[in-house]
Structure 1
Amino acid sequence: MTTFIGLGDMGSTLARTSLAAGHRVTVWNRSHSKTTALVDHGADLAASLADAIEASEVLIVCLFDHRSVHDVLDPVVDRLAGRQVINLTTTSPDGARELAHWAARHGADYLDGGIMAIPSMIGTAASKVLYSGSQQIFDQNRPLLETWGCAEHFGTDAGMASLYDLALLAGMYVMFAGFFHGAAMVGAAGVPAKEFAVRAADWLRAMAPAVIEYADVIDGGDYAIPGQQSLEFSDVSDIVAASRAHGVSTELVDVVQRLIHRQIDAGHGAHGFARVIESLRGAAA
């Protein structure tokens, strides 16, 4: 038996996928209405949060944020002793570590998870869930975890899954923002975003493998390897100018330009574009 605490879009999907895979499930949510569909599919309904915790050794927590985990569980924290808490609420790395220490103080074991999927992807090959914290929880519950997607454990530091999660989301949000900027540029000339999106998707798909090449350069620390696109060549002044000419804000590309020129101004203009990471690290030399 596994108890699911928090039945928003993601929590409900995780519980429903678990039921479909044959797992026994107890559910609890602050808003009772969100439990109805799951009970209709075979879940047991806990009359109270205390009952939900008592029903299972394994607690799947999927709430809004770090604060909400405490808001919901602090009043019943004395009931957590001897239980396994798998927290799939999005938190910061330090937030995950705090929750791990908090759980340990109250006799519970803790595993943190970062879900790299939207609800419609759960249970498909495209879904990945990253975990860190208790190896024992991960190993004992792996059949359940893998019903939701590919499960990967990143070590006993409870904050590591969150760090990976947020780092991957950073790449996603910046990519989407770049698409929005491009759509605004061509949109100023009357091009529909859908028409631009078809070309953008093809281009980004073709460029995606370059991250592996950049990673090799970064890990090697040699930004002067011949054949790399130089920082001087990577100057985005033309993008800035074209954006302004079409009435598009340049605040997004201005950031990229600043990162590039921080390294050029430090005398590294002939080095490869990957050297921009040193601007992000705060090391101009």
Structure 2
Amino acid sequence: MTAGSQITVLGLGDMGSAIARTFVARGFRTTVWNRTTARTEPLVEVGATAAPTAAEAVAASPLVVVCLLDGTAVDQVLASVASAVAGKTLVNVTSGSPAQARANERWAREHGAEYIDGKIMGDPPYVGTDHIMFPFSGSPTAYETHEPTLRTLGGIAYHGEDPGAAAVEFMAQVAFSYELLIGFLHVLKLVRSEGFDVAAFTERAAGSLAVFPSLLNSMAQAVKSGEYGPDLGSLDVQAALMNDMIGHRAAQGVEAVRMREIKDLMDRRIAAGHGDQGFSSLFELLPPQA
């Protein structure tokens, strides 16, 4: 058994337990710790070793995976293991912001440890399969060293040395899904308010999604270059639809905040002389970065 096959997992909620169980199943000598010690018992039964304290768990392995409830819990646990982390690699897969990831990396560096930040895109039953994705960022040396081990968890991707990059990727992916899905629910309300079958509509609408990958890539390139072609048609033409879109929603008592926002942006862009450009050009009017 080599040092590289020794792993510690701090935090045994549903996801942490799934991670630890996967490591045990793949033959890693796995040490586990959880604030509520009863959570360690099922892992011990399948071959893990339970440590009485977080610091002792960290001391047991060169690679430490942290999977806790939130950033506050991470801060508390890191404070308790400060004397044990020197020479270790910390892989924190707890949900959190890019700023939190960068603060954790500074803490790790100040205490002599390498830091990799990770996020989890999937559910506990899928850990160890191709149906879950872990974006990582942080120390390139540590990532290269431990990449084979991290691949045990599922699909992985490295987003660079900035420790906040994985969190940026995760939050953007989740936000994209939420923005899309809340809009979809509003549309279903509109369809149902008119007395039509939402399932039949969705089946038809889903067929149109095939055009979106190329459209999204085209829009991203336009934003990157600042050269806006007439995607979805020119704003002059698109804007003519907006009063009907808003009026229809208002008549059915369906939320129209997003439609009003779009109309306002289109009107402003047209007034500035850019009516020949497309939807992606509205990016230029979004609020500036804080």
TM-score by shorter chain over 0.5: yes
CA deviations 1:41-81 (Å, max 9, x no partner) are: 32222222122112111110111222221022212212211
- Could you say which residue in structure 2 is the equivalent of 1:109? 114
| Aligned residue in 2 for 1:245 | 251
Query: What secondary structure sits across from 1:163 in the alignment?
Result: helix
Q: State TM-score, norm by structure 1.
A: 0.89
Which whole-Å CA distance do the structure 1 matches of 2:123 and 2:244 have between them? 36
AA aligned opposite 1:273: F
Report the counterpart of residue 40 of structure 1 in structure 2: 45
Any stretches of 5+ residues in structure 2 without a counterpart?
1-5
Structure 2 equivalent of residue 233 of structure 1: 237
The residue that corresponds to 1:72 in the other structure is: 77
Change (3 A) 1:77 1:179: same
Once the two structures are superposed, residues 203-231 of structure 1 have per-residue CA deviations (whole angstroms, 9 ceiling, x without a partner) of: 334423311121222233211x3665222
8 Å CA contact 1:181, 1:252 repeated in 2: no
Amino acid at match of 1:254: R
Using the alignment, how far apart are the partners of 1:31 and 1:205 within structure 2?
47
The share of aligned pairs that are identical, in percent, is: 37
Match of 1:184 among 175, 183, 189: 189
Secondary structure of residue in 1 paired with 2:130: coil
How large is the Cα RMSD of the aligned pairs? 2.3
User: Which deviates more, 173-182 or 72-81?
Assistant: 72-81
List aligned pairs for 1:192-211, cutoff 5 A: 193-211=198-216
Q: Tell whether the 8 Å contact from 2:233 to 2:278 is kept in structure 1 after alignment.
A: yes
Does 2:154 align with 1:162? no
Match of 2:281 in 1: 275
Q: Deviations over 1:6-29 (max 9, x none)?
A: 122222222222223322221111
Secondary structure of the 1:141 match is helix
Displacement of 1:107 after TM fit? 1.2
Aligned residues: 282
Q: What is the alpha-carbon distance in structure 2 between the residues aligned to residue 108 and residue 279 of structure 1?
A: 43
Greater displacement, 94-103 / 263-272:
263-272
Listed as ranges, the gaps of 5+ residues in structure 1 are none
Does residue 149 of the first structure (1) align with residue 138 of the second (2)? no
Is the alpha carbon distance of 1:90 and 1:269 closer, same or farther for their aligned partners in structure 2, counting shifts above 3 Å?
same
Matched AA of 1:9: D
- The range that moved more, 209-218 or 255-264, is 255-264
Distance 2:118 2:21 in 1: 18
Deviation at 1:197, TM superposition (A): 4.0
State the distance in 2 between where 1:206 and 1:49 align: 50
Amino acid at match of 2:217: I
Q: How does 1:14-33 map to 2 (within 5 A)?
A: 14-33=19-38
Corresponding position of 2:226: 221
Matches within 5 A, 1:80-95: 80-95=85-100
Bigger mean CA offset, 156-165 vs 182-191: 182-191
Q: Distance in 2 between matches of 1:101 and 1:179?
A: 41
The CA distance in 2 between the partners of 1:60 and 1:214, in whole Å, is 38
CA deviation profile, 1:218-269 (whole Å, cap 9, x unmatched): 233211x366522233334333222211111222433333443342333222
CA shift, 1:201, in A, is 3.4
8 Å Cα contact 1:228-1:271 kept in structure 2:
no
